[in-house]
Amino acid sequence: MSNFTFRNPVKIIFGKDTISQLSKNIPAGAKVLVTYGGGSIFKNGVYDQVVAALAGFEMIEFGGIEPNPTFETLMKAVELGRAEKIDFILSVGGGSVLDGTKFISAAIPFEGGNEWENIVLGKSRYKTATPFGAVLTLPATGSEMNSGGVISRKETHEKYGMGSPLLYPQFSILDPTTTYSLPKVQIANGLADAFTHVMEQYLTYPVNALIQDKFAEGVLKTLIEVAPKVMHDQTNYEDMSNFMWAATVALNGWISLGVPSDWATHQIGHELTALHGIDHARTLAVVLPHLMRYKMDNKKAKMIQYAKEVWALNGTDDELVEAAIQKTTEFYESLGIPTKASAYGIGEETVQEIKKRFTDRKVKYGEKSDIDAAATEAILRMSI
């Protein structure tokens, strides 16, 4: 295990009827900007609960943050927040609203201009951010307990991760009952995204980090166990609670301490979303099984461990490696999520566009920094 330093300051408030605790967790007298997406919060009663809990606070609203939040939309919220001199931001919705809120939080006090380059692409080490909290309504991204976000740009069809230690939420409220209204496709996406987050931090090479490995295996097994249940009935409180907490710990930093991580699947996936608008989780499913096959020599030891520990399989090493790929593919497919990019009409033209982008950016992803433009081309070709 490598050296590590760890601090995660996010206060998690988990459970039924916890939205009412908002007022205790926002500084008294704060002027609050409430951010939200396309309107799901009006249909499922979450907006009403938030408004009731914020009685006594001055509140302004910014809605319309889209899935894969765009710089163009978010800059309008930044202008509003600056003009209104807000003190606190409350994100109400899924990962996109929260990621967008992280950008807004960094951009409002930023005086250096060019927020795309400075904040999204990270050219500036900004020193301050507007404090924010979250009411999360979709288990998937882990954004509620990490300091990262992913922002898209309509104009250029780009999508980039950003982050800063300043961008941890002050608190995140996770009430599993808010997820009962999710469309099935978003439940499937959430399961697939959280599953892939663990895989990106676990399926690398062994460094004898027992806690991290066993924890990662526990999160994967939990997701595998609850998946068919929540796909069947998303109003079972216990199952949705387990799903929601699993998605949080999949990307809150615990399982990545002192271990290598991959993230190539996510980076390639972001390009597929940026170019074709495919849901984030769905892009991961068309990359990871092929990346596993492409990197099966490098990842062999962990793939064997994964087959044995997560899927309880036995066999020769080669059989277990093959089974690891097969089980991963079947997991995505069991959620109704295709594992071939060709299912979305993606072909050679997109492969070449991504290859060109990665060549220009000189990327080297993966735990061994060996997933470059040529490797990406090979992986994507296996998917079309």
Contact status, residue 136 vs residue 92, Cβ threshold 8 Å? no
Only one of the segments 22-30, 31-39, 221-229, 315-323 lies at the binding site for ligand NZQ (rule: CB under 6 A); that segment is 31-39
**How many CB atoms are closer than 10 A to CB 166?**
17
Taking the complex as a whole, the smallest distance from the CB of residue 95 to ligand NZQ amounts, in Å, to 3
Binding mask 154-193 for ligand NZQ (x = CB under 6 A): ------------------------xx-xx---x--x---x
Is 96 a binding residue for ligand NZQ by CB under 6 A? The answer is: yes
CA 150 to chain centre: 8
Q: Give the residue, chosen from 19, 22, 49, 67, that forms a contact with ligand NZQ under the rule CB under 6 A.
A: 67
DSSP assignment letter at 117: I
Is 323 a binding residue for ligand NZQ by CB under 6 A? The answer is: no
Residue numbers at the binding site for Zn ion (CB under 5 A): 193
- Rounded to whole angstroms, the maximal C-alpha distance in the chain is 65
Integer angstrom CA distances of residue 237 from 17, 127, 188, 250, 378:
12, 41, 17, 20, 43
Closest CB to Zn ion belongs to which residue?
193
User: HSE of 37 in the Cβ direction (CA atoms, 13 Å)?
Assistant: 22
Taking the complex as a whole, the smallest distance from the CB of residue 212 to ligand NZQ amounts, in Å, to 18
Q: Give the residue, chosen from 34, 107, 140, 274, that forms a contact with ligand NZQ under the rule CB under 6 A.
A: 140
Is residue 380 within a helix (H) or strand (E), and if so which, with residue range?
A: helix 373-383
Is 251 a binding residue for ligand NZQ by CB under 6 A? The answer is: yes
- β-sheet bridge partners, residue 88: 32
Length of the chain: 384
Is 73 a binding residue for ligand NZQ by CB under 6 A? The answer is: no
> Which residues lie near ligand NZQ (CB under 6 A)?
37-41, 44, 67-68, 93-97, 99, 137-138, 140-143, 146, 148-150, 178-179, 181-182, 186, 189, 193, 251, 266, 280
